Structures are given as C-alpha cells and as structure tokens.
C-alpha cells in the first residue's frame, strides 16, 4: 500500500468513527435518523447544504469541464440559487414542521391532498437521484484507483467506495453526514485553495500569464462561444438549474432539518460567499490544459488527478484523494439516506399502511444497500462524463418545480390532476430529448440562433408548465361544478 | 415591503446573469468574465444581508 492509499484509508476510517460517535446516546427513530429531529442550527444546516454544493462534481467534474470547455464552465457560479432559497425554503420548512412531514413526497401529498401524487413525486425523486448518485460513485472510483497508482482497478475502487458509503449511512443517518461535512469542508478548502494558487504559479509564473498563454494557444477559449455553449445557453442553464437545485429530495429534506426559518435565511447570505472557493477549482482546470494534454470524453474528469500526480508527492495526492472521497461521501450518504426513507415511507407504507414505525425504520435501513446496488449497476453500464450525468438528473428533478411553486401560493391555481399530468409530460419530454440526444436546433430548425442555443431543458419545463396549467383549468371547472351544491348547503 | 425586498433580492441575479463576455481587462489575475461572475457572488451575499436585515420576518424573538 502506498502512502496515498494509506492516507485515504485513514480518512475513510475517521469518517466512520465520526458517524458512530454522532449516533451515540441518541435513540434512532425514523425522524431522528432522517431529519435529525429538526434541531440543526444555522451552522450545521449551512454545512449540510454546503455539502450538497461541494460534491465530486465540484472537485472532478468542474475542473474537468473547465479543462475541456473553458469559459462555459463558469456556469457553476450561480447566485440565483441562494436568492431563490431565501424565499423558497422557509415556507417549505414551516409547512413541513406544522404537518410533521419527513420527506419531499409528504409535502406534495399533503399540499395536494393526494397520496398518489406523493408516490409519483417519490418515484421521480428516486429516479432523478440515481444519475447523481452514479456520478458520485464514479468520482469515488476515479479517486481511489488514481491514488492507488494503478494497483486498484477502477471497478474494484467503485466497490470499495460503495461499501464504505453504505456502511456509513446504515450506521449514522443524517447526524453522521453533518459531522463528516465539517471535516470535509476544512479539507476541501485547504486542498483546493492551495492547489488553485500553487499550480498556476508553479507552471506559468502567475495567473494572468496562465490565462494569456491559454488565450494565445486557443483563442476564444476564455469567453463563451458565439453559438453552441453561448451566452444564451449560459443564462438559460443558470435559470433552469436554480429552479432544480432545491427540488432534489435530499436538498428539500435538508431544509426540514433546520431549527428555524431564520437559520435557512441566514444560510442564503453565507452560501454565495462560500461558492468563491469554486474559482480555485477553475484555476486548477485551466492549469491542467498544458500539463496533461489530450484527455478526451469521460477522461476529462481525470484532469485534476492526473495533474496532481504529475506535480506532487504521493502523500499529498493522498490528502487530495481524501478530500475528494469525503466530497463524494457526504452527498451520496445524504442521497442514499433520503432515497431509502422515501421508498419505505412514501412507497412501501402507502402500499402496506399497517406497517409499524419500528419495522419501517428497519426497512429504511435495509433499503440503503438496495439503492446503492441499483446505482452501482448504472455506474458500470454507462460511459458518460460527470457533467452529462448531472445535467440529466437536474432536468428530471426540475419537473417537480411548477407543482411545488404553485402549491406555495395562497390560492393554488393547480389541481392534483394538473400537477400529475404536468410532471409526467415533463418527464416524457426529458427522456425523449436525452435519449434522442436532440438539441433545440434539431427540434426547431427554423428558429433564430439565440433560441437554438437555449438549454434543451427549457422545452421539457415549458411543456410541463403548459400542461399543468391547462389540465388544472379544465379540472378546476369540473371540481367547482361538483363542489358548488355542497357549498350552498353549507 | 415584501414586494420591495423581492425586487432588491433579484438585482444580483439579474446582474450575475448579464454576462460580460470578454477576456480583457484582467482583474485580480482573472479574465474579465470570470472576475464578473465572482464579483457578483460577493455582491449577492451583500444584497441578501441587506434583505435579511430589512425583512420583518427576521425581527422579534419569535423564531419562525
């Protein structure tokens, strides 16, 4: 075992120790296990949410995307997320607390007074999480196998990663995730800031020098292109992603874990500043361009690691690897935890309502490895880059936004039928455009270039909103005429 | 009041999306477009802090 692997193993062991410690002295009810009894203050909620924001995607995907595409990668800075979270999360938290809700699916079921809609939302949530989970596992595999300098194959590395995550989640639930998030954040901050400064200075003698030589070798790489990943693409993607970012079942329920709405609002002030760390990840991606040239397709995800191995001693590669592993561990444990909770509480319990809480809690824990194995299957059967997987998950989960948004209105204009049809139509559109690999230009060859560059997700989203509102308009009338006689009686 | 706060909080979104797509001038070692994006992250925090301070929901001891 080399020193890189030794350090990575030590950090994995430490995170499991933290998970065990976090659990100690607390009886694990389902509520305790999944939303930490709604007792997490601003600081822990902040760290949990930051844990969402800084995942393997940030670490490997963002640097790889910068390496491959240049300026379009700047879309990872998105201020709109946090502004949205300030207004969106506190009312969600408040309603969830009043009604004692545990999951995202509960929220929809309660707002629309329909268990069937709850089941649909549960299924959409779990399906959307799979590509996101696959992405984290892929990242884990890359890190462990690269850090082993070839002694562990990527597939063996993925198995090791999955085992660690599964054991970790089964032991601890959300408390463990919050404490590992603390450890992870310190490590990532240190590693990323150091590398972001060191690499450009070491290889180019300065930041401006680095950017100037990139600009010379590849003119136009540092700005958004005229067409394709253009300004129009950029803006439409930012908007879509902010809508999707809090629709994930795990970001949704991270909001439940807050102690107060105020904790969530304070979080919205802190989070944008925290994103600044991402600029260092971008520096690393740019620094890799001349040092590890020629990576193509899904190999671009390796850019950061290849560069680290070319630059640093194995022990430091181990520290970088440990940071990367924790970056995968926190979000994937959150996701596994939430997916298992949803499947047991919002699907199984609906099917078998007589299940007791104790056996439900047990079932939830046993579902963790089941979900992990499903994700494992897709990890081994798909050759996509981290960015592609993330985009797919986002497009799917964004389809829940319209139904949620309207349900927060004082007078919800959307009926349960409308919500149902809208979500299904949106999903169908996402699946069609993803599977056929269509772009706006393929679907609408005659529209102006600006529209052709729009994120393809806009189509599914627009279809969703139109169907939601149209079906609601029709069904509302039907409901009204049904309801009127009862009203006059009352 | 709430309406003005909505507007105030939208300002950073609007400006951070309004992409200045150029390399020159370099600011703090970054191409201008990158600097612009980072600048608006900082300003988003500032704006959201102002909104937080003005928002009646955050006043008084009742933590909701």
Assign A485 a pLDDT band (cuts: 50, 70, 90).
Answer: very low
Phi and psi at residue B27, to the nearest 5°? -125, 130
pLDDT confidence of residue A176? 63
Domain ranges of chain B: 2-55
**A215, A217, A223, A265: which to substitute to probe chain B, counting the most B Cβ within 10 Å?**
A223
Biggest CA–CA distance in chain A, Å, is 82
Judged against a pLDDT cut of 50, whether residue A343 lies above it is answered with yes
pLDDT confidence of residue A425? 92
Judged against a pLDDT cut of 60, whether residue A74 lies above it is answered with yes
Rounded CA separation A342/A220 (Å): 46
Rounded CA separation A233/A228 (Å): 7
Q: Assess whether the previous peptide bond of B25 is cis (omega < 30° from 0).
A: yes
Quick check: A302 and A146 in contact, CB under 8 A? Answer: yes
Least CA distance to B10: which residue of chain A?
A: A83
Interchain contact A265–B (C-beta under 8 A)? yes
Question: Do the Cβ atoms of B42 and A239 come within 8 Å?
Answer: no
Partners of residue A83 in chain B, C-beta under 8 Å: 9-10, 12-13, 44, 48
pLDDT confidence of residue A225? 80
Q: In terms of residues, how long is chain A?
A: 490
Rounded CA separation A455/A237 (Å): 6
Arithmetic mean of pLDDT, A440-468: 80
Question: Do the Cβ atoms of B44 and A282 come within 8 Å?
Answer: no
Quick check: A135 and A57 in contact, CB under 8 A? Answer: yes
Tokens describing residue A419: 């919500």
The angle subtended at Cα A92 by Cα A165 and Cα A483, nearest 5°, is: 125
For the beta carbon of residue A355, count every other beta carbon within 10 angstroms: 15
Rounded CA separation A84/B6 (Å): 10
Q: Give one DSSP letter per residue of A305-362, joined into a string.
A: HHHHHHHS-HHHHHHHHHHHHHHHHHHHHHHHHHHHHHIIIIIIHHHSTT--HHHHHH
User: For residues A398 and A387, which has the higher predicted lDDT (pLDDT)?
Assistant: A398
Interchain contact A262–B (C-beta under 8 A)? yes
Tell me which residue in B13, B38, B51 faces A77 most closely, judged by beta carbons. Answer: B38
Assign A222 a pLDDT band (cuts: 50, 70, 90).
Answer: confident
Q: pLDDT averaged over chain A?
A: 79
Domains of chain A (ranges, CATH numbers): 3-393 (1.20.1730.10), 399-490 (no CATH)
Tell me which residue in A206, A224, A270 faces B29 most closely, judged by beta carbons. Answer: A206
The pLDDT tens digits for A123-178 are 888 888 888 888 788 788 888 888 888 788 878 888 887 888 888 777 766 566 66
Taking Cα atoms as reference points, which of A24, A6, A346 lies closest to residue A173? A24
3-state secondary structure of A260: coil
Question: How far does A125 lie from chain B, in Å, by closest CA?
Answer: 27
pLDDT confidence of residue A484? 42
Question: Do the Cβ atoms of A235 and B6 come within 8 Å?
Answer: no
Tokens describing residue A399: 């389809």
Question: Do the Cβ atoms of B21 and A223 come within 8 Å?
Answer: yes
Tokens describing residue A191: 């590693």
């Amino acid at each position: 075992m080399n020193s890189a692997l030794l350090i990575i193993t030590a950090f994995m062991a430490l995170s499991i120790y933290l998970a065990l410690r976090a659990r100690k002295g607390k009886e694990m009810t389902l509520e305790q296990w999944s939303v930490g009894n709604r007792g997490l203050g601003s600081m822990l909620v902040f760290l949990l949410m930051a844990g969402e924001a800084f995942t393997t995607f940030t670490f490997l995907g963002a640097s790889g995307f910068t390496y491959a595409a240049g300026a379009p990668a700047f879309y990872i800075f998105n201020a709109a997320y946090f502004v949205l979270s300030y207004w969106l999360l506190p009312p969600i938290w408040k309603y969830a607390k009043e009604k004692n809700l545990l999951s995202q699916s509960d929220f929809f079921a309660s707002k629309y007074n329909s268990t069937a809609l709850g089941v649909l939302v549960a299924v959409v949530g779990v399906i959307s999480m799979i590509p996101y989970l696959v992405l984290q596992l892929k990242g884990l595999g890359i890190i462990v196998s690269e850090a082993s300098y070839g002694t562990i194959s990527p597939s063996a590395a993925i198995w090791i990663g999955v085992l660690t995550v599964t054991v970790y989640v089964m032991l601890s639930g959300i408390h463990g995730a919050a404490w590992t998030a603390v450890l992870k954040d310190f490590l990532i901050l240190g590693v990323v800031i150091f590398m972001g400064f060191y690499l450009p200075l070491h290889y180019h003698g300065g930041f401006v020098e680095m950017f100037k030589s990139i600009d010379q070798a590849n003119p136009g790489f540092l700005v958004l292109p005229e067409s394709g990943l253009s300004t129009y693409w950029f803006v439409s993607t930012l908007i879509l992603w902010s809508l999707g970012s809090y629709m994930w079942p795990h970001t949704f329920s991270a909001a439940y874990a807050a102690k107060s709405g105020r904790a969530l609002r304070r979080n919205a002030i802190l989070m944008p500043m925290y994103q600044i760390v991402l600029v260092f990840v971008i520096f690393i991606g740019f620094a890799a361009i001349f040092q590890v040239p020629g990576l193509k397709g899904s190999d671009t995800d390796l850019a950061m690691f290849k560069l680290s191995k070319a630059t640093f001693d194995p022990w430091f590669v181990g520290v970088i690897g440990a940071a990367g592993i924790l970056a995968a561990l926190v979000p994937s444990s959150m996701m596994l935890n939430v997916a298992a909770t949803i499947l047991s509480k919002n699907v199984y319990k609906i099917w078998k309502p007589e299940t007791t809480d104790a056996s439900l809690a047990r079932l939830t824990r046993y579902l963790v490895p089941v979900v992990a194995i499903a994700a494992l299957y897709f990890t081994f059967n798909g050759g996509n880059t981290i960015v592609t997987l993330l985009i797919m998950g986002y497009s799917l989960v964004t389809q829940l936004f319209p139904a949620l948004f309207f349900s927060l209105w004082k007078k919800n204009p959307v009926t349960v039928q409308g919500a149902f049809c809208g979500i299904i139509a949106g999903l169908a559109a996402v699946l069609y455009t993803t599977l056929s690999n269509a772009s706006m230009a393929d679907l609408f060859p005659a529209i102006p270039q600006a529209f052709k560059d729009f994120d393809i997700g806009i189509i599914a989203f627009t279809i969703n909103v139109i169907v939601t509102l149209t079906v609601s308009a029709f069904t509302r009338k039907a409901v009204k005429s049904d309801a009127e006689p009862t009203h006059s009686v009352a | 009041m709430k309406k003005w706060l909505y507007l105030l909080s939208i300002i950073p979104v609007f400006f951070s999306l309004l992409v200045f797509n150029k390399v020159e001038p370099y600011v703090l070692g970054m191409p201008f477009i990158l600097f612009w994006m980072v600048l608006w992250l900082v300003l988003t925090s500032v704006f959201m802090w102002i909104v937080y301070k003005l928002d009646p929901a955050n006043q008084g001891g009742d933590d909701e």
